[in-house]
Structure formats: C-alpha cells, structure tokens
Amino acid sequence: MASERNPADGIAFVDGSYVPLVEARIPLIDRGFVRSDATYDVTHVWNGCFFRLDDYIGRFHASMAGLRMSLPYSKAEIAEILTECVRRSGLRDAYVQMTCTRGVPPRGSRDPRLCENRFYAFAQPFVWIANDEQRRDGLKMVVSSVQRIPPEAVDPRIKNFHWLDLTMGIFEAYDRDATVAVLTDGAGNITEGAGFNVFIVRDGVLATPDRGVFEGMTRRTVIEMAKAMGLGCEVRAVSVAELHDADEVFITSTAGGVMPVTVVDGRIFGNGKPGALTSRINDVYWADQHAAGHVTEIDYAR
C-alpha cells in the first residue's frame, strides 16, 4: 500500500500527482522509453538547500528547446514541483531529476510532432559516483577503447539518455580493475565519462575538454571558482597524452562534486593521494553550497 511506503525512499511527480518513487510509472510506448527521445536534468539538495536550481532549470528548458519539445510548466512551476518532491520526501540531501519525454504517438503514427510531451520529476536520496573511500583516496580511471558518440550525431550539450557508449566504458573500467572510464573522440582527445567531466592540472593550470562533452553544472562551477581563486583554467582540446602526463586529475559531477583521480591506466599520481590543488578546489566547491545567490532553501514545514 502507498501509505506503507517510506517517503525518504523517494517521491515522484507523474501525471500531475505526487506518488512514492517505487510506484512511479511511464507509458510503455512513450517515445522517451522506446526511442530514447527525451531530455532530462539533475540538480541536488545538500543540507536542505538546492544548489543552482535556477541554472539547472534554465539548462533543462534550453535542452527541451534544442529537441523541439515544450511543456505547460513555467520555470517557476517546475521549481515548485521539484521542491515539493523534496519537501514530501523529507530528504535533506537529495538527488533530484526532471525529465521531458516526447510522449505517446497517435496510433499508427511515427510523427514526433503529433506527440504530447510529458513531464516527470523525482527526488531520491543523494547519489554518489564514488564512495567515501574513493573520494578520500582517489579513483582509478582508464581511457576507454570505446569512442564517444560524436557531437555531429547527438549533441552532448543536450542532456540525453544515449548512454550505451558510456555504459560499455563502465564495463571496460571494471574489466581493467578501475572504477571509471573516460571516452575519447577518436582523434586522440578525451571527452567525458558516465555522468562526469574531466579536469587535468599541469603546472598549476586547469584544463578541461571543450568538445564532445556535456557542459556539466559542476564543471561550470569549477571554471567559475578557478577564476575567483586566481587559477588558470583552459577550456580546450585535451589529449590522452596530456591526461597521462598531468600533475593531477579530477572529475566533476552533480553526483559527487569534485572527485580526485589517483590512477590513470595504471599510472599512479601523487603517490596515490589526491593532489593539493584538487583538494583545495573540492573544499571550496562544498563551501560554495551555501554561497549567496547559489542556494534555494527548502521549507519543510509547509
């Protein structure tokens, strides 16, 4: 029974109603399911506050526009729905997703223009890419033999469910005694991994790939932080050779923030410990979770 569900396990918004996440359903013939014809975005709540909520929703709207989708909800209304999912769950630290699917086509039609786009949202306990030990001691990474889907085929700046290349990279990482994999562009440059962006540090200067990647919000935050901290940060092509020769490597994601990488393709960085600059950036990032202008506090008492 729904009444027996623990709200802290997650709350979803489906068809205009709030339901336990485990009971949330979508139509089996929604093109979002059968054709990966969807876009989504993920924000997070930390210590009872959303981080950069308006920016996440703004990016979600831009992704919908890029896929020629639209919803009958304003940005403010989406913010209210996401907030209500969290409030009903009671979660103080939460992973919060919003999704727009193409919807169900009329019977006998393959015309995406005839679909009514559908909105789904949910909040669940915060999700970490890396566990406590990995965030403390660093992740093992491999450069995958799998090539990232080229941006000429699927624009990675529009968050999407086309994850088969990324998923096969995950399998390869596990097969090679690693935790995460970064995919290449087929021309000797790194792109991104499953749900994360990559930064390298060389001589105190940061660099992160500029093409073939989703422009993550944590990536954006680190780029902004680097400027405020007086650090150089280059957004450009980053070769596999540069990754191997870096002084430090870290990844960024909403699902974990700034996470150190201490082994790449068997090469150990910094005696197997997170680099000093990576640790500093991580500290500033989490302090920024309560920076003025970046947070939206949730009223759980309503």
Query: Whole-model pTM?
Result: 0.94
Residue 55: which of 214, 207, 216 has the closest Cα?
A: 216
Residue 3 has pLDDT above 60, yes or no: no
Residue 270 has pLDDT above 90, yes or no: no
CB contact at 8 A, 101 and 117: yes
- Confidence band, pLDDT 50/70/90 cuts, at residue 292: low
Residue 143 has pLDDT above 50, yes or no: yes
pLDDT digits (tens, 9 = 90+) for 22-77: 999 999 999 999 999 999 999 999 999 999 999 999 999 999 999 999 999 999 99
Average pLDDT for 181-185: 98
* Phi, psi angle pair for 174, to nearest 5°: -65, -40
pLDDT of residue 254: 93
Contacts with 55 (C-beta within 8 Å, 6 or more apart), sequence order: 217, 220
> Which alpha helices (DSSP H) does the chain contain, by range?
31-34, 53-66, 75-89, 132-137, 164-175, 217-228, 240-245, 276-287
Domains of the chain: 2-125 (3.30.470.10), 132-289 (3.20.10.10)
- Confidence band, pLDDT 50/70/90 cuts, at residue 1: very low
Concatenated DSSP letters of 123-162 = EEE---SS-HHHHHH-EEEEEEEEEPPPTTTS-TTS--S-
Average pLDDT for 86-106: 97
Residue 181 has pLDDT above 50, yes or no: yes
